[in-house]
Homo-oligomer: A and B are copies of this chain.
Amino acid sequence: MMLKSKMKNISIILYKPKYAGNVGSVARVAKNMGIGNIIIVGTSGFDCEEMQQRSTHLAADVLDKIRYCKNIEDALGKFNYIVGTTARLGKGRGPFISPRTAANDIVNISQKNKVALLFGPEDTGLANDQLRLCHSVVTIPTSREFTSLNLSHAVMILCYEIFIASSEATNTQEVAPTLARSQELEGMYAQIKTLLADIGFLNPENPDYWMMHLRRFFTRAGILSREVKIVRGICRQLKWYAHYKKT
């Protein structure tokens, strides 16, 4: 029996795309590869004619269904697993995985989780602030001479690999459990950060340094919703205890 990727659980998130033509092309790619959901964050008001021309009328339904969001936390809040993409391999931006490795993970995880594929603006790509929200970061192999892919081509490669992995996958592997949603995770991180700042653990000049390591650990471990609740309970208790001790 095949372990079909639940394509309905996979969404493409475009963070601040600049060109209507690219948005149209992405809609076409999505339809070609069986993905129905696109969310655009931070930009809107694209030229309809240009979008439609590039999507072609056969992907008009995907284009019409695009959701627009003002900020990225709102867009990602309901997702359990977020895959970022980047061509810039700076230190602290990874660890990076290949589209093929990511695709195999995504087919498995998408059985019981909502997965977001996150792509940055055409000129700059995703910044560290957005990569921070991701569970894994994909980098698409290219010639060293020209590493920057057109937005719709990057979307195509990742979606194509997922489509192929989904038709090749078998159910011999264990299905990934339902992970905590991004919203829950971010709430937990905020609480941990406050606590660690309160007890003087975080350097006030660079509080995100240790937080980055904690984020990596939690996403690598694949933290579940009930585990987030436990961690938050512990944080609350620690806060109460620290306060009680002081008074």
Contact = CB atoms under 8 A, between A and B. Distances in A.
B141 A167 contact: yes
Interface stretch (A9-17, A153-161, A233-241): A153-161
Q: Please tell me how many copies of the chain the complex holds.
A: 2
A58 interface: yes
Contacts of A142: 32-34, 163
* Residue from the set A31, A149, A157, A160 with the largest chain B CB neighbour count within 10 Å: A160
A160 B142 CA distance: 8
A180 interface: no
Contacts of A148: 32, 56, 58
A164 B28 contact: no
Contacts of A33: 142-143
> Which interface class (under 10, 10 to 19, 20 to 34, 35 or more) fits A?
20 to 34
Contact of A157 (B141, B152, B160): B160
A160 B148 CA distance: 14
Contact of A25 (B31, B56, B143, B150): B150
Given A32-B153, A156-B157, A163 B146 contact: no
A100 interface: yes
B100 A143 contact: no
Nearest to A98: B164
A163 B157 CA distance: 12
A31 B157 contact: no
Given A148-B58, A150-B25, A31 B143 contact: yes
A114 B58 CA distance: 37
A97 to B, nearest CB: 14
A25 B153 CA distance: 9
Contacts of A64: none
A143 B28 contact: no
Contacts of A157: 156-157, 160
Interface in A17-31: 25, 28-29, 31
A145 interface: yes
Query: 8 closest pairs, A vs B, by CB?
Result: A34-B143, A31-B146, A32-B142, A153-B156, A58-B146, A32-B146, A32-B149, A157-B160
Given A100-B164, A150-B152, A153-B156, 12 more contacts: A28-B150, A32-B146, A32-B147, A32-B149, A32-B153, A33-B143, A34-B142, A54-B150, A141-B167, A142-B163, A152-B153, A156-B156
